[in-house]
């Protein structure tokens, strides 16, 4: 059952187009079925690695997590928390009761970068711990692929942007103009009353400028 549950989480991560969408989808899944994670469970992510669209990880190469972590899902003694973020120093956003518990903090990684962690409560059974470890590793891989997809989208966007700009003047080039012209033509077809204007100008001594 845990394996099937983990597969659902994996698919949700990989099917998401953005970081906010991914968090919301995971939250919905965890809210609907809590039989696997139990009555006390926490799922936190550091937004920094997921919002870093470039392939340059130098900014992420820091000690520890961001000052605040995003709450993907948090439940304490059966009460689901509506908190969206919390101070990392607190470890978990909810207060603990007076009873003794054993908490297992399972980190999530993207290569050598920490991206968040899962917190399981009273999951000290050796068999269950092996299953938890296996699921955490699969979620790790899913997040790595998700981050790669985000960066690929960013790079594709940059390639398109660069192909539409003249490298000397940094103004839009003919490819960009033709794309805009096609957009205007489509709008006219759909709405004959659509109004637009074309402005043309010339700059003397452009090379000198």
**Residues 102, 39 contacting (CB under 8 angstroms):** no
**Residue entry with tokens 């991560």:** 13
Strand partners, 85: 70
User: Which of 57, 180, 40 has the alpha carbon at shortest distance from 121?
Assistant: 40
**Residues 112, 130 contacting (CB under 8 angstroms):** no
Q: Mean of the per-residue pLDDT values for the chain?
A: 83
Radius of gyration of the chain measured on its C-alpha atoms = 24
For residue 133, what are the CA distances in angstroms to 2, 35, 45, 129, 200? 11, 18, 17, 6, 64
**Residue entry with tokens 């007076």:** 98
pTM for the complete prediction? 0.70
In this predicted model, what pLDDT tens digit does every residue of 39-77 receive, in sequence order? 888 999 988 878 776 656 665 555 677 889 999 999 988
In this predicted model, what pLDDT tens digit does every residue of 7-23 receive, in sequence order? 888 999 999 988 899 99
- Burial of residue 164 (number of CB atoms within 10 Å: 0-12, 13-18, 19+): middle
Strand partners, 42: 74, 119
The one-character DSSP state at 81 is P
Report the C-alpha gap between 118 and 141 in whole angstroms.
15
């Amino acid at each position: 059952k845990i394996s099937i549950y983990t597969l659902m989480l994996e698919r949700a991560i990989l099917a998401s187009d953005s970081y906010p969408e991914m968090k919301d989808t995971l939250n919905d899944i965890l809210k609907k079925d809590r039989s696997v994670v139990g009555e006390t469970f926490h799922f936190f992510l550091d937004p920094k690695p997921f919002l870093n669209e470039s392939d340059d990880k130098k900014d992420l190469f820091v000690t520890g997590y961001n000052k605040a972590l995003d709450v993907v899902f948090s439940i304490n003694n059966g009460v689901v928390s509506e908190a969206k973020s919390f101070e990392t120093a607190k470890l978990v956003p909810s207060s603990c009761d007076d009873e003794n518990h054993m908490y297992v903090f399972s980190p999530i990684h993207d290569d050598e970068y920490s991206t968040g962690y899962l917190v399981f409560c009273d999951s000290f059974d050796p068999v269950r711990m092996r299953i938890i470890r296996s699921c955490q590793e699969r979620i790790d891989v899913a997040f790595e692929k998700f981050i790669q997809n985000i960066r690929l989208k960013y790079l594709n966007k940059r390639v398109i942007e660069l192909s539409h700009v003249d490298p000397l003047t940094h103004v839009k080039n003919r490819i960009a103009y033709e794309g805009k012209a096609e957009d205007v033509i489509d709008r006219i077809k759909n709405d004959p009353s659509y109004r637009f204007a074309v402005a043309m100008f010339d700059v003397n001594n452009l090379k000198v400028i």
